[in-house]
Amino acid sequence: MSSFITRFAPSPTGDLHRGHAYSALLAFEAARAAGGTFLLRIEDIDSTRSRPQFEAHILEDLAWLGLRWPEPVRRQSEHMADYEAALERLRSANLVYRCFRTRQEVAQAMASAPHGPMEAYQGAPLPTDEEAERLARGEPFAWRLSLAAALEHLGPRLPLTFLEEGSGPAGETGEIRARPALGGDVVLARKDVGVAYHLAVVVDDALQGVTHVIRGEDLFEAAHVQRLLQALLGLPTPVYRHHRLLTGPDGRRYAKRDRAETLRALRQAGGSPESLRRELGL
């Protein structure tokens, strides 16, 4: 098996833009340079926002860019049992709790925390009888990691570190001390879809043998949270290479809302992958 495996992991909630092309090309070229493997993973757990036509467009756009990847592509929505198993491990170690709060209630709790506004939410399980009542009423709940329980559980294994071969938004590079508190009591299973981003990503990166995570620096903080989950689940930690984010002519980051800037629009307007690569400096 190759000792270098990386992945591009888009969510099919919109069409890809130049920023995605940059990220995908960096990962693809890094795999090629290392004689390794480039994987494509479709992060479609958010069934409320994912659309099959966006997935189809992603496959077309990446093939147009000249990227190739092994089939079958891993589609997160087809692997809910893997995420449920990971959640069960955390549940049986008493590291997660049910959270019935709405977004608004969470925001209020953060704003009115006794020691000043919280940066990341930390809550607590409900008393057993109240929880039983709410469950009996069929109230929806999310599963949250208990940061306090997690840190206590890891005890002597702290502090956690990871290797950053690229750089974070403030130029962070090299051996980084993880700050798991950045995520607070992070949601591991959403009320509506039964799993959440961080849990699915660490499970998949491990199951797919990903050795290098190459992605935008907007996900640098995510690495701190994901490092914690890797430690709790006994999963290996990949090397991280976060890259700068591209900005458009107006100086703003590319975003899915800018329709005119999509790769699809570029392709339909007769653009070529070669000129795009040149424009991206690749």
Instruction: Note whether 280 binds ligand GLU by CB under 6 A.
Output: no
Cβ-based nearer residue to ligand GLU, 188 or 201: 201
- Kindly report the three-state secondary structure assignment for every residue of the chain: CCCCEEEECCCCCCCCEHHHHHHHHHHHHHHHHCCCEEEEEECCCCCCCCCHHHHHHHHHHHHHCCCCCCCCCEEHHHCHHHHHHHHHHHHHCCCEEEECCCHHHHHHHHHCCCCCCCCCCCCCCCCHHHHHHHHHCCCCCEEEECHHHHHHHHHHHCCCEEEECCCCCCCCCEEEECCHHHHCCCEEECCCCCCCHHHHHHHHHHHCCCCEEEEEHHHHHHHHHHHHHHHHHCCCCCEEEEECCCECCCCCECCCCCHHHEHHHHHHCCCCHHHHHHHCCC
178 near ligand GLU (CB under 6 A): no
Smallest separation (angstroms) from ligand GLU to the CB of 96 = 21
**Binding region for ligand GLU (CB under 6 A) out of 4-12, 79-87, 228-236, 273-281:** 4-12
- CB of residue 11 to ligand GLU, shortest distance in Å: 4
Q: How far is the CB of 102 from ligand GLU (least distance, A)?
A: 25
Part in contact with ligand GLU (CB under 6 A); list of ranges 6-14, 58-66, 92-100, 249-257: 6-14
The answer to whether residue 43 forms part of the interface with ligand GLU (CB under 6 A) is yes
- Using CB under 6 A as the binding rule, whether residue 9 contacts ligand GLU is answered as yes
Question: How many residues lie near ligand GLU (CB under 6 A)?
Answer: 7
> Out of 21, 126, 150, 201, which residue is the one contacting ligand GLU (CB under 6 A)?
201
Q: Nearest approach, Cβ of 41 to ligand GLU (angstroms)?
A: 8
d(CA 55, CA 186): 27
**Residue 191 annotated to the active site:** no
| Closest approach of ligand GLU to the CB of residue 10, in Å | 5
Q: Which stretch in 9-17, 54-62, 243-251, 265-273 sits in contact with ligand GLU by CB under 6 A?
A: 9-17
Instruction: Check binding of 98 to ligand GLU (CB under 6 A).
Output: no
Q: Which amino acid is at 17?
A: H
- 215 contacts ligand GLU (rule: CB under 6 A): yes
Task: Kindly list the residues in this chain that would bind ligand GLU in the complex (CB under 6 A).
Answer: 9-11, 43, 201, 215, 219
Q: Kindly list the catalytic residues.
A: 256
